[in-house]
Structure 1
Amino acid sequence: MRLPGRLAAAIEILADVEQRRRPVSEALKAWGLNNRFAGAGDRAAIGNLVYDALRHRASFAHLMGTDDPRALVLAVAVREWGETPAALNDAFAGDSHAPAPVTDAEAAALAGPLEGAPAHVAADVPKWLAPSLERAFGATWVEELAAMTGRPSLDLRTNLLKSTPERVMKSLARFSPTPTTIAPWGITMPAGLRDARTPNVTTDEGYQKGWFEVQDQGSQIVSALAGAQPGEQVLDLCAGAGGKTLALAAAMGNTGQIFAYDADRARLAPIYDRLKRNGVRNAQVRAPGDGALHDLAGRMDRVVIDAPCTGTGTWRRRPDTKWKLTPELLAQRQAEQAALLAEGLSYLGPRGTLVYITCSILPEENDDQIAAFLAAHPDVKSRPIDAAWHHAFGVDLPDGLRTPGGGICLTPLRTGTDGFYCHLLGRNPG
């Protein structure tokens, strides 16, 4: 497919997402199944167009005067991919799969400035979230959120139970991998421009042998901050597919015991194959059911809560969720988080550490949640995150990462990662 056909396909998919109210990933998959002539390169390019449009939906709609799919895709082609209206019309001429020619009005809009746009438009976020985001980041909040409109890198974590970073990078040399800047066992491949394809590393022999896992550097960092030590008893209370369980197992050198649990059996399903491929022997999966964790009460050295959240920290990867988020969903997640913190505390031993993690950048799910928890549990206090950072990475905590409430917040602008929050807690001694 040539660019005109790819643009037309992206417009069609965005219209499908809008009309059927379904996730972008499902719409892209359905289009691919119905258009099997499209090769892998075509599907990657079309996906890039769609996701770029959603990342910039507010600013491009402001620019074009409408958020209809055609306007958004044309804005991507010109403002992000470097095309010109004249070049597009030349490419469209005589191409039966091309969209209609760019009009003079559209060309004028595409050349227009964004200066003077409202702050939430410049930040490309829903207007109702602006006060929360300004509270989270202060005067730099628009800059922080604008950085979340970029494409994410592909990050990997070396599985130290089976390999080394050097061995993994040699296996993936064709993709030009480099070490991550913070996570000591991480490897990264920056996102490309325009129609660049994300490397399919899961077909690599090293992946099949369990040498590495796909894991954003931010997730690797908060996993390391959990501080799991060899021989400890650890509960991963919201294990999901097991990404952090695998990281904890490697940190513990396959010793001690990790209890991997999730209230959603479907989310937990992939963990079994991943544990086997990674050579993890110290993890015990606990499926949901009555009394599944009763025998762990008061015994755990660490309880890791990777809490369900709004996912605002992953907007680079899932920009469609940015525009679906509602105050009601935020309130629902806050209630779930509060319940999980209280439950997690019940499993914690007298000197244990409670690790609270979200992939959110909203204070309502982060510092506010911790403040409410501490107020309700006077026998609990925050643990120094600075010391944990130094222990995990051998350097001082960088400026700007610590939150007012005593946690840390990672962002694309600050750390080149997805957005993550981490806070460490424990019972008062005595």
Structure 2
Amino acid sequence: MRLAGRISAAIEVLTEVEQRHRPVSEALKAWGFAHRFAGAGDRAAIGNLVYDALRRRQSHAQAMQSDAPRALVLSVVVRDWGEPAEALANSFTDDRHAPEPITETEMEALRRADGPAVPDVPEWLQPSLERALGSEWIAEMQAMAERPPLDLRVNTLKSSVERVANSLKRFSPQSTDIAPTGLRLPAGQRDSRTPNVTTDEGYQKGWFEIQDQGSQIVSLLAGAQPGEQVLDLCAGGGGKTLAMAAAMDNRGQIFAHDSDRSRLAPIYDRLKRSGVRNAQVRPPEPEALDDLAGRMDRVLIDAPCTGTGTWRRRPDTKWKLSTEQLQLRVAEQQAILDAAVASLKPGGTLVYITCSLLPEENADQVADFHRRHEGFEDLNLKHVWTSYLNGDFRGLDMPHGLLLTPLRTGTDGFYIAALKRTATR
């Protein structure tokens, strides 16, 4: 397919997403099944057009004076992909898969200079984001609207950074600048395809995992030590369980638990592939953690949240988020924090993590926890940073914890707080 045909397909997919409220991944998959003639390069290009349009939807809508899928995609091709407007219009004339010809009104909009910077987030969330990020909040949101890189965490239980980098040298990986065992494949431009590293021999052997550098950073800041007893209370697919197992050098014990059986399902194969021997999966039954009461050196809560820190990867979710969803997540987080206390021994550490930028889910949540539970003190994670990570502290110092952002740390957005239990009860 040529560019004009890819544009037509992207408009079709984006229309499906907006009219039927389908997740982008599902809409793209359905389009691919219905158009078997499209190759892998075509599907990648179409996906890039759709995701780029959603990442900067308000900016493109402002420039085009329209938020229709066609207007958004045309603006992406000219403003983000650098295609000259005249050349784009000409390409529509000799491609039977092209959309309708570009109108004079559209051409004027495509030639028009961009207006003031737009934050590209729902208006109702802007006060919360400004409260969390301060005067740089618009710049932070512009960074959040960029394409993300592909980050990998080298599994030191089986391999080394040098060995994995050599295995993937055809992709020219770079060492991550903060996480000590990470590799990064930078985001591509225009219609470039994201490398499928899961087919690499090293991945099949468990030498590395796909994990954003931000997730790697908070996994290390969690501070799990060899020989400790650790509960990963919201383990999901096991990304942070695997990272902590490597940090603990397979010594001690990690209990991986999740309330959702389907989220937990991938962890079994991942543990086996990665050579993790100190992790035990606890199923989502109510009594599954009873024997751990008061025994844990460390309880990790990778809390369910709005996912506002992952908008680079899932830009469609930011336009679907509602106040009701935020309130539901806040209530879930509160319940999980309260439940976690039972497993923690005196002197143990409660680690609270979200992939959110919103203070309602982060500092506010920890402050509320302190009001409900006496005998906990905040640990200074900036000091922990210098022990486990490369370079000086680059995150945002927040009440009770710290925040990672695309602008400051080049990562997804993550909040982490660590609370030491000082009381005996």
TM-score bracket for this pair, using the shorter chain length: over 0.9
| 1:58 Cα deviation from its structure 2 partner | 1.0
| 1:113 Cα deviation from its structure 2 partner | 3.5
> What is aligned with 1:383?
379
| 1:387 Cα deviation from its structure 2 partner | 2.0
Query: In the TM superposition, what whole-angstrom CA distance separates every residue of 1:314-365 from its partner, at most 9, and x where no partner exists?
Result: 0000000000000000000000111111111111110111110000001111
The DSSP-based 3-state class of the residue aligned with 1:77 is helix
> What is aligned with 1:115?
115
> Structure 1 residues 45 and 373 mapped into 2: Cα distance closer, same or farther (>3 Å)?
same
Alignment of 1:251-290 (within 5 A): 251-290=247-286
Gap regions ≥5 residues in structure 1: none
> What is aligned with 1:355?
351
> What is aligned with 2:68?
68
2:60 partner amino acid: F
Measure, in 2, the Cα distance between the counterparts of 1:232 and 1:99: 61
Deviates more, 1:289-298 or 1:196-205: 289-298
> What is aligned with 1:178?
174
> What is aligned with 2:397?
402
What percentage of residue pairs aligned between the two structures are identical? Answer: 66
Conserved in 2, the CA contact under 8 Å of 1:303 and 1:353?
yes
> Structure 1 residues 179 and 108 mapped into 2: Cα distance closer, same or farther (>3 Å)?
same
Query: In the TM superposition, what whole-angstrom CA distance separates every residue of 1:38-86 from its partner, at most 9, and x where no partner exists?
Result: 1111110000000000001111111212111100100100010011221
| Equivalent residues, number | 424
The DSSP-based 3-state class of the residue aligned with 1:102 is coil
Measure, in 1, the Cα distance between the counterparts of 2:288 and 2:377: 28
Measure, in 2, the Cα distance between the counterparts of 1:232 and 1:407: 23
Conserved in 1, the CA contact under 8 Å of 2:366 and 2:400?
no
| 1:401 Cα deviation from its structure 2 partner | 2.0
Measure, in 2, the Cα distance between the counterparts of 1:394 and 1:300: 29
Measure, in 2, the Cα distance between the counterparts of 1:367 and 1:319: 24
> What is aligned with 2:421?
427
* TM-score of the superposed pair, with normalisation by structure 2: 0.98
1:426 partner amino acid: K
Conserved in 2, the CA contact under 8 Å of 1:386 and 1:396?
no
Measure, in 2, the Cα distance between the counterparts of 1:252 and 1:148: 32
| 1:144 Cα deviation from its structure 2 partner | 0.5
1:43 partner amino acid: R
| 1:396 Cα deviation from its structure 2 partner | 4.3
Query: In the TM superposition, what whole-angstrom CA distance separates every residue of 1:6-63 from its partner, at most 9, and x where no partner exists?
Result: 0000000001111211100000001111111111111100000000000011111112
> What is aligned with 1:106?
106
Conserved in 1, the CA contact under 8 Å of 2:406 and 2:412?
yes
> What is aligned with 2:408?
414
* TM-score of the superposed pair, with normalisation by structure 1: 0.97
| 1:132 Cα deviation from its structure 2 partner | 0.4
> Structure 1 residues 69 and 232 mapped into 2: Cα distance closer, same or farther (>3 Å)?
same
Measure, in 2, the Cα distance between the counterparts of 1:394 and 1:347: 32
RMSD, aligned CA: 1.1
1:184 partner amino acid: P
> What is aligned with 1:82?
82
Gap regions ≥5 residues in structure 2: none
The DSSP-based 3-state class of the residue aligned with 1:123 is coil
Measure, in 1, the Cα distance between the counterparts of 2:133 and 2:286: 42
Measure, in 2, the Cα distance between the counterparts of 1:181 and 1:395: 8
> Given the alignment of the two structures, is residue 191 of structure 1 paired with residue 191 of structure 2, yes or no?
no
The DSSP-based 3-state class of the residue aligned with 2:397 is coil
Measure, in 1, the Cα distance between the counterparts of 2:115 and 2:96: 37
Conserved in 2, the CA contact under 8 Å of 1:308 and 1:336?
yes
> Given the alignment of the two structures, is residue 29 of structure 1 paired with residue 29 of structure 2, yes or no?
yes
> Given the alignment of the two structures, is residue 338 of structure 1 paired with residue 334 of structure 2, yes or no?
yes
Deviates more, 1:83-92 or 1:255-264: 83-92
